[in-house]
Each structure stands twice: as C-alpha cells, then as structure tokens.
Amino acid sequence: MNDRIFQILEYIPPPMREEIASAASGLHNVEEIRLRADLPISIFSNGKSHQIDGGVTAAADIQSIFTAVCEHSVYAYLEEIKQGFITVNGGHRVGICGRAIVRNGEIENIKDISGLNFRIAREVIGCADKIFGEIISANQEVESTLIISPPQCGKTTMLRDLARQCSNFGLNVSVVDCRGEIAACYRGVAQNDLGANVDVLDGAPKAAGMMMLLRSMSPQVLVTDEIGGDDDIFAVSQGMSGGVAVIASVHGAEVDHVLRNEKYAPLFGKCGFSNIVSLSRRNGAGTIEEVRKL
C-alpha cells in the first residue's frame, strides 16, 4: 500500500482505518475509497468496486470524518464545499454528497453529509512520453493538443505529465486548476510535480482563470482540464489565436464525435488544435488509442 493511501487514512478513525488498510493492501492500483452512511465501505480499484465485508459506515462517522477533512472549521472550507469537494494534504480530492442548500439556483452549502469519496491523487511520471514526442514541432515548439476520453481514463494524469514535461523543456507553463486535480495544491503549494517553470492558478473558474493568466503571466503553454462551456471555448480560442499553445481535455467517446460537435467548432481550424489524443481504459487508465494530427 502506497504512502498516498496512508495520507487519506489519517482522516479516518480506528478501527475503520485498520479495516480499510487491510482491504486496500490486497488490491492493486487503488483509485477511490468511498464512505456512504449506513452502507458498506467500498474501494475502487482497476475499474471495479470492492466492498469491505461488515464495514458499514455510521452517519455519525461520516460527519466526524467530514469535520476532520475540514480541519475542524467547516466555514473555512465553504467555498470548496459549494463545489462539491475538498482538496486535502497530498492533493487528494474528497467528494461530498448530502443535502444541498440552494439559493437563486446556486448551491450555497452541503449539509447532512451522507457520503464521502476519497479520490487518491496519483502521479504517473513519464506517462505522456509518447504524446510529448508527437506534439513537438520541427522547430521545437509545443503544438496545441486536445485530450479526449470517457471519465476515469486518465485525462488529468496525462495533462499533469504533459505540463511537467513542457515545464522541464524550458517553457513557461500556466495551469488553470479549477478543481485542484492537476497540481493538487494544498495551502497554495503544488503537491504534484509540474516542473520548475510552472505557474498555477488554483480554484479559479476555467474561463476567467485562462484570461487572467494570458494577461498576467505570458505563458508559452496554457494547461486546463475538461473544457465544455462556451466561455471555456472562447478563452481557449483566444489563447491559441494569440500564439499560446493550449493543452486541454474534454469528455468524449471518440475523436470524430468531438470533431463533429458544433460546440467545439471554434477550437479547430487555422488557429485551433493541431493534435487530438484519444485515451481509454483498454489496457488500464491512460491507454493511448490515437494521436491524430489535424
């Protein structure tokens, strides 16, 4: 069992901690630990959920663990709670379910916490080696690249390693990390290795964050995860039109589905993405199915 799982177990009281540690030790590539009120503890590994026999989580335990995740100051984490997750030491993301408090169509808080999903932050140094070699042009410049895949196929892990490789290549890299998954900042410090030439804007909305970094940090490479809204698409287009290489991701099953989607049309063409990378879980998360030149 790796050290990153031990970082998560610090938030979980004994004997539940021992139950999870024992079950996780027999599994390979643990990705998530889910705690649901009055239901068995489950561990997600290698694309499958494994339940711990007899490990039912009481609602009181869920609340206690949630308070520990918030470092005993729920109010201090309210902005993150509104987004449905909290990033903890080590860069791990804790997803939150419960009763949403809504005002004017916006979630203001989540109370009566009924479930926590500890998503284990992972770095796979070198996983983007093949892709990086494909997206370097003849004059040694990084080309704008879009990564597509269904959920849980390694998009963010691949983005992270591409950011690190661009940074170590000597380029100024700016990362908009709206959900804290790329750099996994904890108290302002990136927990993941993104190289020495990187600037991270943590917690900002993607579109506003990209425009801010384009104005203030003069990036040569701009990295962001899971673009989708019209504002995101406009900001990405602005970056590429201004000569900045953009590396981003979208949800999608196939390259052609994304290319045919009218919403993404502004991202392709003369000043658009030069490459599309398709990922799957066929041989495990991060399987590179295709690198297509556009």
Residues 220-244 have a mean pLDDT of: 94
Sequential DSSP letters for 6-55: HHHHTTS-TTHHHHHHHHHHT-SSEEEEEEEBTSEEEEEETTEEEEEEEE
User: Which domains, from first to last, does the chain contain?
Assistant: 3-119 (3.30.450.90), 129-293 (3.40.50.300)
Which percentage of the chain shows pLDDT scores above 70? Answer: 99
* Residue with tokens 């989607």, as numbered in its chain: 261
Query: What are 94-143's pLDDT values in tens digits?
Result: 999 999 999 999 999 999 999 999 998 878 899 999 999 999 988 889 99
Are 127 and 162 in contact, with CB atoms under 8 Å apart?
no
Q: Of 292, 282, 2, nearest to 148 (Cα)?
A: 292
Residues 274-288 have a mean pLDDT of: 90
pLDDT of residue 1: 55
Q: Of 164, 125, 133, 147, nearest to 279 (Cα)?
A: 147
Mean pLDDT (the chain) is 91
pLDDT of residue 238: 94
pTM of the predicted model as reported, rounded to 2 decimal places: 0.78
pLDDT of residue 80: 87
Q: Give the C-alpha separation, 43 to 30, whole Å.
A: 7
